[in-house]
Structure 1
Amino acid sequence: MNAATITGTPGRVAAGEPALAPVRWWPSLGVGAALAAMVLALSGRHGYHLDELYTRVAGRHLGWGQIDQPPLVALVARVETAVFGDNLTALRVVPALLMGVTVVLVGLIARELGGSQRAQLLATVAAAVSGLALITAHLLGTNDFDVLVWVAVCWLAIRLARTRDPRLWLAMGVVVGAGLYAKYLLVLLLLSIGVGMLVGGPRRLLFHPYVPAGAAIAVLIASPVLIWQATHGWPQFEMADALSIALADLSRISFLPMLILVVGLFLTPFWIAGLVALLRRAQWRPYRFVAVAYLFMIALLIAIGGQAVYAGALQFVLLAAGCVVAADWARTAVRRCLAGVALAANLVTSAVLLLPVLPIQAYADNPLLAQLAITQFDQAGWPELTAQAAAVYRALPPEDRSHAVFYGNHYGQAGALDKYGPAYGLPPAYSGHNSYADFGRPADDKTVVITIGVDRAKFSQLFAQCTPAGRFTVDLPVSDAGQEFMVCRGPREPWSRLWPRLRWIGFQCPYTAMAVTAASKEGCV
């Protein structure tokens, strides 16, 4: 019986290569299930993230694409709310399950690198207690699928380098094609892997006839979303430009700290050890392309002003490699204890920062948490915003209320009113932000608009009268605190002509009220 038979690998295996360790499925699946159960148990605390409020509404307006993302996440939101109900926990079931699968896959990467069963389980646990896993499992967004796809592609690439089975290029084509329905950032990974193989080898794998075949499969599967982008003027590039403008300087300044925090401070020795081992271990030479790909991506992200979190999925691969190293290192009780303490400390610190484990006011009252736990505040204040918007609406004369609608400067505001507004009997809410602008515009008989956070000078030009109606007040450092309510009456043109002037593609800066667009060339302050 040869090594290929022992390992279950259909491709050619180098002579003398040891069999891979068997997979202990139940412990690994148990870790993934525990992660999913933990985040779902906490899912109902605090509230919807502003992106989830947007995605929830997008689920009612399905198409082959959106201005700022492909269609898969909106489709998932539609299915989740239909199956489980229109509530916060229902919206977060799929993210929890996907990350449970992802951490198991990280353990399989450790196995592909020759890791023992202990190394596989260590890699699964380390991935599960990372900051990236916790936040991605907690929130519904494009990262849920993106991280899984990146890890799957890396697993297939490492398996390809080990077995030299060219059919794995076809499998990668399928995974990439499906992944492009969730996020276009996947192209960066493919570029990085290509550079990694060219520089670090095995180069010959790049020139196999199955490579263009795999690429053709990916393009064929993703053709609907690619055609949508092409026929809509490639808005993803404008969105990427806006993000770069908004975050370039901030990303470069905070790149190194974020690189550490993405996975977690106490897991840093693990993935650094994995990076070094991939570069130096002779037996891992076939997999050296992973380390080169990671270094290339870091350099690329710094050059273009990208965020460190974009490299997070590749850090999972380094983490898997580092756990193989750590499992060999932790031969004594003291060393195993140190590794366990590091895992526990990473879980606690990452959970406090990224999961709603504390009351929201506790985050606001602690100066350090108020600065670091930004994600917590993106999930707070929406019911209060809606209640105060409802007070503005009720203060209108009855004849105005019958002709009134709401307009939110960004999709989070409009999405909040869509979710919480029906309890107050509020009229529909609209926004010109990104694809929310495509979800509908007011009818021409709607001549009174209650706005939130808009540019007063701009709206004063579009309406006959705009009157301030107070500001949003809340005892939490949420990004919309202090936003102005206005009541604008008498649109100067029909909505069909006004609406194109209200559309904008851009990014809402965290902790500021300023919208950043590709056209404005403004930046976050």
Structure 2
Amino acid sequence: MTAVVAVRTAPQDPPTTEPTFAYRGVAVIAAISALVLTVTAARFDFFGDELYFLSAGRRLDYTYADQGVIVPLFAWMADQLAPGSVTALRFPAVLMCVGAIVVSALIAYELRASHRVQLLAAFTYATSNLVATQVILSTFAFDATLTAVITWLLIRWVRTRQDWLIIVAGLVAAVDMQVKWMIPIVWACLGLAVLVCGPREVLRRPALWVASAVLALSLVPILFWQSQHNWPQLAMGSIIAAEQDATGFGQLGFIPQWLGLASFLGVLLMVIGFWAVFKQESLRPFRFIPIAFLIMTAFVIITHGRPYYPTGFFPAMFALGAVGLWRYDRKRWMNIAMIPIAAASVLGFIVSVTVTPLPSSWRYPAEDAIDLGIRSGFWGTTNWTTLVAAVDTGYDKLTPREKANSAVVAQGYWQAGAVEQFGARYDLPATFSPSRGFGFFGPPPDSATSVIYLGMDSAEPHLRARFDEVERVVHLDDPMGIPGIDRMTAIWVCKGPKQPWSTLWDSMTTLYFDLGVWQDHRATTRPTH
């Protein structure tokens, strides 16, 4: 695949003939990527958020506390078609990755690039670390590709001035709103960039305001739900910021993580893309793309967001960089230097999808949130079945009469998802959790007088304040385990809740996700139902 980056030394002017789309070459790259990503998709066990999406899919609703309905819907579909299959669950994310690869080439085509340049843009996205990260069922997997589609439609509008493209972009944004609630910020960043550097003509087009109205209307049901539940999404901002600071070295850690997602070749093309839109006449109409990308990135850094939030702009930036590189008067040494850069990106991608997860014998204890983040990246989250078996041990402590009026309550939403996913073999009672979105699924019935409680081993004082009887029956504390799964975790049998569950739940629900290793506990907001 490295042959894609072989380049000529002569400067390239914009083509005088109408370019064609590199269907065959892009199809080859997309097919190889789809095959590799599908075959390796199940190398990691279920991620905690994926277990939550499966639980949310079993409770389909028009929206949720922290995301829209699309990801839980796909989780439900995968669970119906292939129950328990990690590959089936992640296949929609694979399709999203492949879609972004194709969009990268489509954007290069809109920039009037040759087949080689289109393939370079697609190749760069296909070999980026972003792709290896994106193949997990998540809101990010969908949001990144849908954002890329929006930028492609706007770039095509700049070239063709066909206003229906703007309306379609608004429809795509409305769909993305049912995935992740970041798209209004992306839309605003694009608008601000157009205001700064053009083409300002789009601001006078009625199609833009129709598209913006479509996006605004898609917010209405979400805002209604949030208003009825004390606006949990507003509280999530500070919590995500605290978690990002704890696991990602704060704001200073954003840049290296962000660049790491782009990989070596991607970083090079992004730099060239920034330069080219100001220096090459044919690319100047598209200056709003890197400016919007820059604004979005600055916003995410200032608000302590996740490094992958702005990556929906990567396909457009890779395409701009590929075009800018091809039309630059390069020296021979520059062409030669491209070979090891491309090879390093390919090698990094191959390592990501084949070497990880690392052997379990290489694990080390997770002493803080940074350790936990590294552990998750290199080893994944494992031993869910050990956790659920411990819950069954607690359930066996109940008498038949107590079992008839019992429930499982998990402190964390990951744990609750694991019990629902792996607990069927044990015939456990219904599972509840006051954690994040799971808490909004509702409390146990007031008839549940016996509870198997699963949580961090520090939870006992809180349990004694809420139940008449509390007995710890299992303690999981593997020094090499993962906090919240098989380390610093305990199972209690709790009897006699001191208040009805309908009342008790309000004091228990929290958006803060305790894994026992956070150093920053500032984000402990509890919404009231």
TM-score range, shorter chain: 0.7 to 0.9
Q: Report what 1:346 is aligned to.
A: 345
Q: Report what 1:383 is aligned to.
A: 385
> Which 10-residue stretch deviates more, 218-227 or 238-247?
218-227
For 1:460 and 1:513, the matched residues in 2 are separated by 25
Q: CA RMSD in A?
A: 3.1
For 1:275 and 1:40, the matched residues in 2 are separated by 33
Aligned residues: 505
For 1:377 and 1:507, the matched residues in 2 are separated by 21
For 1:370 and 1:223, the matched residues in 2 are separated by 37
For 1:164 and 1:357, the matched residues in 2 are separated by 46
| Superposed displacement of residue 184, structure 1 | 0.9
1:31 and 1:125 in contact (8 A); partners too: yes
Q: Report what 2:7 is aligned to.
A: none
For 2:245 and 2:355, the matched residues in 1 are separated by 29
Gaps of 5+ in 2: 1-13
For 1:437 and 1:371, the matched residues in 2 are separated by 24
Distance 1:505 1:372, change over 3 A: closer
Q: Report what 2:115 is aligned to.
A: 117
Distance 1:360 1:379, change over 3 A: farther
| Superposed displacement of residue 69, structure 1 | 0.5
Q: Report what 2:455 is aligned to.
A: 453
> Which 10-residue stretch deviates more, 249-258 or 61-70?
249-258
Mapping 1:221-370, distance limit 5 Å: 221=218, 223-248=220-245, 250-328=249-327, 338-350=337-349, 352-353=351-352, 357-361=356-360, 364=363
Mapping 1:33-48, distance limit 5 Å: 33-48=31-46
1:506 aligned onto 2:506: no
| Superposed displacement of residue 91, structure 1 | 0.8
For 1:402 and 1:328, the matched residues in 2 are separated by 73
For 1:174 and 1:484, the matched residues in 2 are separated by 47
| Superposed displacement of residue 146, structure 1 | 0.4
For 2:525 and 2:139, the matched residues in 1 are separated by 25
Distance 1:101 1:333, change over 3 A: farther
Q: Report what 1:442 is aligned to.
A: 444
Distance 1:54 1:488, change over 3 A: same
Q: Report what 2:409 is aligned to.
A: 407
Helix, strand or coil for the counterpart of 1:100? helix
| Superposed displacement of residue 509, structure 1 | 6.1
Distance 1:217 1:463, change over 3 A: same
The AA in structure 2 aligned to 1:298 is T
Q: Report what 1:64 is aligned to.
A: 62
| Superposed displacement of residue 374, structure 1 | 2.7
1:217 aligned onto 2:219: no
1:462 aligned onto 2:480: no
Distance 1:510 1:340, change over 3 A: farther
Helix, strand or coil for the counterpart of 1:506? coil
1:102 and 1:151 in contact (8 A); partners too: yes
For 1:324 and 1:217, the matched residues in 2 are separated by 33
Q: Report what 2:103 is aligned to.
A: 105
1:330 and 1:336 in contact (8 A); partners too: no
The AA in structure 1 aligned to 2:475 is R
Percent identity over paired residues: 25
The AA in structure 2 aligned to 1:380 is T
TM-score, normalised by the number of residues in structure 2 = 0.86
The AA in structure 2 aligned to 1:39 is L
Distance 1:460 1:366, change over 3 A: closer
TM-score, normalised by the number of residues in structure 1 = 0.87
| Superposed displacement of residue 135, structure 1 | 1.6
For 2:220 and 2:409, the matched residues in 1 are separated by 34
Deviations 1:243-295 (A, max 9, x none): 23433574313111112112224532222222222233232111111121122
Mapping 1:121-270, distance limit 5 Å: 121-136=119-134, 138-221=135-218, 223-248=220-245, 250-270=249-269
For 2:156 and 2:304, the matched residues in 1 are separated by 32
For 2:124 and 2:218, the matched residues in 1 are separated by 33
Distance 1:446 1:369, change over 3 A: closer
1:479 and 1:513 in contact (8 A); partners too: no
Helix, strand or coil for the counterpart of 1:264? helix
The AA in structure 2 aligned to 1:292 is I
The AA in structure 2 aligned to 1:279 is F
For 2:191 and 2:79, the matched residues in 1 are separated by 39
Distance 1:370 1:430, change over 3 A: closer
2:19 and 2:113 in contact (8 A); partners too: yes
The AA in structure 1 aligned to 2:69 is P
Gaps of 5+ in 1: 1-15
For 2:101 and 2:64, the matched residues in 1 are separated by 29
For 1:194 and 1:508, the matched residues in 2 are separated by 38
Deviations 1:481-515 (A, max 9, x none): 21233222211122222222222223456955998
The AA in structure 2 aligned to 1:469 is V
1:134 and 1:355 in contact (8 A); partners too: no
The match for 1:85 among 59, 83, 86 is 83
2:449 and 2:496 in contact (8 A); partners too: yes
1:193 and 1:290 in contact (8 A); partners too: yes
Distance 1:510 1:444, change over 3 A: closer
Helix, strand or coil for the counterpart of 2:440? helix
For 2:501 and 2:260, the matched residues in 1 are separated by 46
Deviations 1:195-224 (A, max 9, x none): 111111112222222221111233345544
Mapping 1:22-41, distance limit 5 Å: 22-41=20-39
Distance 1:396 1:23, change over 3 A: same
Helix, strand or coil for the counterpart of 1:61? coil
Distance 1:390 1:239, change over 3 A: same
| Superposed displacement of residue 445, structure 1 | 3.4
Distance 1:464 1:371, change over 3 A: closer
The AA in structure 2 aligned to 1:267 is G
Q: Report what 1:11 is aligned to.
A: none
Helix, strand or coil for the counterpart of 1:384? helix
2:168 and 2:211 in contact (8 A); partners too: yes
| Superposed displacement of residue 299, structure 1 | 1.9
1:94 aligned onto 2:100: no
| Superposed displacement of residue 229, structure 1 | 3.4
For 2:138 and 2:372, the matched residues in 1 are separated by 23
| Superposed displacement of residue 362, structure 1 | 5.7
2:358 and 2:378 in contact (8 A); partners too: no
| Superposed displacement of residue 191, structure 1 | 1.3
